[in-house]
């Protein structure tokens, strides 16, 4: 079953709001981290470095939960349960991290030697909203 992102969801995931992403460790326990986020209207996009704990977790189990607060308001948030359908590396992932860096830091991304960037394509399965 798929869920659709509403207009306010898309706006929250497009604005420079920091998101929390939860993946599952090998023993099934949750692992959370803060991340930059955006979307294309239907899917969420997360960018990370290949080999990080969250990326290893997603390679093993593609289920994730991503939450974001609108404008830093702890009483106005969206949570998305989803599936990472695709892990993209190469120029697309690098262009994506550059885009995110410009949105969140107002600066172009500076490549790190030896680092491989990965863009996750996350399909929403369930959306929970608080304070619509």
Model pLDDT for residues 20-51, shown as the tens digit of each residue: 999 999 999 999 999 999 999 999 999 999 99
Give yes or no for residue 79 having a pLDDT over 60: yes
Which domain, by its residues, includes 75?
Answer: 7-130
- Phi/psi at 84 (nearest 5 deg)? -75, 105
94 within domain boundaries: yes
CB burial string 40-67: b at 16+ within 10 A, e below: eeebbbbbbeeeeebbebbeeebebbbb
The total number of structural domains that make up the chain = 1
Model pLDDT for residues 91-122, shown as the tens digit of each residue: 999 999 999 999 999 999 999 999 999 999 99
| pTM, two decimal places | 0.93
Q: What is the CATH number of the domain that holds 109?
A: 2.30.110.10
120 within domain boundaries: yes
1 within domain boundaries: no
Tokens of 95: 């262009």
């Amino acid at each position: 079953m798929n869920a659709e992102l509403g207009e306010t969801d898309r706006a929250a995931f497009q604005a420079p709001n920091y998101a929390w992403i939860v993946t599952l460790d090998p023993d099934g326990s949750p692992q959370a981290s803060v991340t930059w986020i955006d979307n294309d209207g239907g899917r969420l996009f997360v960018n990370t470095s290949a080999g990080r704990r969250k990326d290893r977790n997603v390679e093993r189990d593609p289920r994730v939960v991503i939450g974001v607060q609108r404008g830093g308001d702890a009483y106005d948030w969206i949570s998305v349960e989803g599936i990472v359908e695709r892990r993209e590396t190469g120029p697309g992932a690098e262009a994506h991290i550059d885009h995110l860096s410009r949105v969140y830091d107002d600066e172009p991304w500076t490549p790190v030697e030896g680092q491989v960037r990965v863009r996750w394509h996350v399909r929403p399965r369930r959306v929970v909203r608080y304070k619509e």
